[in-house]
Structure 1
Amino acid sequence: MNEAPHDPVGQVIEDRYRVISRIADGGMATVYQAIDERLERTVAIKIMHTQLAQGPKRDQFVERFRREARSAAAIANPHIVQVYDTGEFDGLDYLVMEYVHGVNLRYEMNQQVTFSVRETLRIVGETLDGLASAHRAGLVHRDIKPENILLNDRGHVQITDFGLAKAVSQATLSSTGMLLGTASYLAPEMIESNRAIPQGDLYSVGIMAWEMLTGKVPFNADNPVTLVFKHVHEDVPDVSTVCSGINADVAAFIARLTTRAPEERPRDASAALEELQRLQTGLTIDDWQYRLPAGTDVSTVVGDPGMVPPAPPVPPTDQSDDRTRPLGETAPNATSIMPAEQSQSDPEATARLSLGGHESPTGVAEKGDSKQQGRNRKHTPVIIACITAAALVCAGGGGYAWWYFQGPGSYWTLPQPADLSCTTSKTCRISNVKWSSYEELLKFANIEYETTEVYSDSVSAGDIVSTDPANVGSHVSKRRHQKVRVVVSKGVKQATVPADILDTGSANGKDPVKALERAGFDDIERTPDSDDTYSMDVPQGALLALSVNPGATLPHNTKITVTLSQGPKPVVMPNVVGESKDEAQQALDGLKLTVDWSEQFDDKIPQGQVISASAKAGDELHWGDAVKVVVSKGPQTVTLPNYVGQRASDAKSALEKLGFSVKISSQITLDSSQDKKVASQDPVGGTEVRLHQEDGTPTTITLKMYSSLF
């Protein structure tokens, strides 16, 4: 036993994880069931073995533990077991992981021996989906094998153990039981040159699929060295050499995964998954249901079959529907009888007969060779029909009438889509599943249907939005020729932003919100009005900014933010009368008003001060409005001419013409030649004289003229 020095069962780790019981032992660690008391959920705790923690390669194993935590934490996928926490307990590293209710694929392989194509491809597809997330994250698992593929209680894959080092160390391979189990699935390039690449994971998946279909791994040997030698130097046989009758495309896909040359495999799990999905669209119902009969001798292909322990008998399973029953769950042992029509048209139906000596009560053939069993299967429909006819005769026809007109014969039962998980005893609505896959299922069940397409914000294009009837298990009347009405999503409706939405001269540019609504957008948000939304250049209601590009085609529910112009901002006219021109200009420029300046003489207001404005103080204006402002040039002045010696009447007339008031006084002179001429003037000639006084009256000029006595 590889146990910790102190059994952790019953203990609480880190004051949080209460260990309940031991689940299993592995090559590196023991896994326990525990309760996370902080979050009140069941978890699994993987605790490293003591001998590894104390051995010479402790650091390598601790690093693997921590790498597993980091690797799994970097991947978000429902097909990957989540790692929640990591730490150390009694000197031993541990991981806290998602607790998966279910079993691993190895258990199912031991139970079923072989799998149908449907079961195999479903598990392979879910495994590839999980690995695709890992490969996109730059991680390669390197240890894909049935033991690391968990099947939860719904039958879905969850991949575990992301801890292997890039190069498989000798210490790891030499651990008891690990080399043979791991080496059966190792890619040649990993064995030969320690190359850890995504194609190596695909090789392991291909070997796993080969084993699921045939019941054996393709290579067996007495010792690990011989086994890995075969992987490196021998081609994996085509699965059709064992499974004669299997679809050729299925066999080719597995051959492509298991080819020795990595470059001939798909580049990674995403590419492999795409190939698988394309492949599945061409499979018929018979292709899906193909399964190698248990007990088929494959030793001529895989070598010594003694290396693989014989598996237990195959329990009876419902091969008509691999979708709804979890792997490993057996069908009831009771014998049921039904008309052939129902068994053919209803994929949920199955008929199992106890035909003494040919089949045991558990459904496993006890006597006779494979040919005899084949003949029995061929006669089964006839036997069913005979027993049915006998039952109808005994019932006098009444039972058949009920069955045909009111009972199970009168309706189809809506099957469960393969990609829909349902909870027992709860209504399971058919929605958000691939229509292409479900359409095949309806065709297989002979259920008529009609489709309509709608846009949907929540359901991906090509998926089912709803059905009528709506739920798994609902009845569809045969007698009334009822059709299942299927509404298929066209995806999110698209809309196109008008290309001219920024053109303020266009109809769309003048009212951009209405234009976006007419285009089909319905999540339009306006930025709040602020000083930044006023504009002198962009008209009110037109766009200042748009969060998407004009002409772009986008989902109709894309949030579009628009910033609309409020046009020129309203402002209040300030009182600028009496202010200096500079002060007035600064105030009006700050309000983004357009000013028309003019000047005039004013006898009262000093030069440079505002006399008047076309808008009154307090008037509401807008940016860009024009305002006329008159600035004083001060009083009007004239340089007074010198009139001395000129005739007084002429001087008086000239001064009055200039706008002056003239006062004349006489000065007696004896010189008669100077009579009536200006003797002097006040102010004197050459003086700058204002025309008017502050009260507006003309300035007076005094002239003295000569007056002769003779």
Structure 2
Amino acid sequence: MSEAAATPEGQTIEGRYRVIRRIAEGGMATVYEAVDERLERTVAIKIMHTQLAQGAHRAQFVERFRREAKSAASIANPHIVQVYDTGEFNGLDYLVMEYVHGVNLRHDMNLQGTFSVRETLRVISETLDGLAAAHRVGVVHRDIKPENILLNDRGHVQITDFGLAKAASQATLSSTGMLLGTAAYLAPEMIENNQATKQGDLYSVGIMAWEMLAGDVPFTSDNPVTMVFKHVHEDVPSVATVCPGIDPRVAAFIAHLTARAVNDRPADAADALHELQQFTPQLDMAAWQYRKLPDDARQDAHESTVPALVGTIPAPPAPPATQVLPNTVPDTVPDTAGSEENGSTTAAGATPVPSTPGAAVTTPLAPVPPVQNTPVVTDQTATQVITSQPGSTTQSIDLAAVSDPDMPSSPSHNLPFPTISAQNMPHSAQHNAQVDRPRKSHKALIITLVVALVVALCAGGGGGAWWYYLGPGSYWTVPQPTDVTCVQGEACSTAGASWSTYKSTLNVANIPFKVSQQYSDDVAQGAIITTSPKNVGDHISKRNNDHLSVVVSRGVKPATVPSDIDDPNSANGKDPLAALQAAGFTNVTRDESQEQYSQTLPEGTLQSISVEPGATLPHNEKITVVLSKGPMPVAMPDVVGKTQDEAMAALNEAKLKVTTSEAYDDKVPAGSVVSASVNAGSQLHWGDAVSLVISKGPEMANVPNVVGQNKDAATKTLQALGFDVKTTGLNILGLVQQQSATGQTRLRDENGKKTVITLTVV
């Protein structure tokens, strides 16, 4: 896969979709913000990971990817994230999806802890409305959980990630032997019978509602196996057990959704939505307002629960009197390097990244008040002022109706989520509202007097100007992080504080900041390495656009072991120590005590390594390598004159590679070594090549009978065979009468001289 495919930012796909930036990362794909230049609109493009597209199970992942497109595209509902297009880009499948401005429900759960009955039922009703549309076309989602419930910038639900969805007639929990879905939300029949049903989606919705009201799921365990065991063998306890005082009809509805037996739940999402619409008109205002206090707020409250939509959560330390609390929401530290500023994010990927693939969350919500701040009041007649317990703050609760004129009409919008007016307020609330009026008048009078005093000081002696330009009004003070302990009289650094928590403190104090990230071996990921100014109580000037610079830890820098480090023929395999150093590892140890000679591994190549090749680890992870000493050095044995068997035994013991050839030799007996290519005693190494010449013995020839032949003819015949010829006799007739040798005869003697054959000629 080309580098361009791996980093598509700045590229245009199919001449239409111009990729802007990465906004989310999942286990199966990466989501990017892009511009559809043909229709001039912002979209989200989900591109499959390269390693899946090139892996052994490519076909399965591509099928799941395309199933998501078909499943989502077949459903027309405002509560479903729409899929516009699909295709292939540089060998990678992609989906073009609706660009959702917002966050997922998990983000709000982490922020608020618990929800009121009103907010819970609104989210559940819109989720059921979206699922009802899916169930009507026979699609089962199979992975309903807060991470897949998006809340757009109008606060409405949009369901995403249909990657596990299938037609109800063929839906099973697993097709490859792997459990699909999230353990905390899985229905019993999914775990036990491997069947994904419409009622299974409702079970997941019920668990989600239970968690929104109670602040945690009903079954918890560090071991997923234990958790799924509880889902199969235990009934989900009534939410009333952890939310005492909640309306029994709300608890009964959630119990109906989370019944252990499939047939004890509603038939599908439409039935569940109808049931919700039947009982909600019967709820009184106290039931709608019920909200369980988070654990950290219960310690200061006289009651375990209070009838409020946004609970009385202890307020953070009061900011300077001149500061205005911003409507900003703390989010998570981004996974990629960059910088952030109040009110906006400039880092790629700084939007809270969903934990599951396909969640098309793209930008933070429009400013949403955190639970500790006073919500924005849009309708004064629909606002109740609830006086908190002593020591806490008074909060305004916006109970305006949730219908949105921009949202298409759907059955869920007809739920009777109430508004509050003086006529339907509880008596105590009416009393508090009446008492609050003179307080507001006193407050207005005090503000007027303060303003007049400031004006008088400025006009009279410049004291106000001093306060604003040189005094406490001219700077911000670096606040103390809640998780850092300071010692009186000693400098107190912000280092080590949780950035996500401290960011909220800075937002509340309206202190501008910029964030960068660095790897750190000492500071945990997400914690502050340093700030500038660095100490609590230091001043940040309000002039010249000064700000607090924050360096956040990305944790220990990772490094990847080269995947070919154990291949002695690769560049990394030929020098493993240099390869690990180049990869960024700083704690590599060579164990020479374990090194051995090898016939197959060259000297200096990898014999063993304590980690898996290709693994990504912290750069300071201890890695132990054992290198090969290569072939062992050996001396060439003396094999000349030895029999072939004796020579081969000696050379094999020295682990040398031997080749042989044969030659006649007048001195060395047949089958013995005449010569070797390497002199005896020379230094060789295992696997070196040696050539031997094996004697065939003296060369022989068959002497023919030449008696009676002409002397000259007989002489030529014998000389042609390699013999010397000597003649004796009268030589009158010129005929051979006798010869000195016949049959097999040596051509040469031991000294290498030719054998002489004597012919007697008459």
TM-score by length of 1: 0.44
Larger radius of gyration: 1
Which has the higher relative contact order, 1 or 2, with Cα contacts under 8 A spaced 6 or more apart? 2
TM-score by length of 2: 0.42
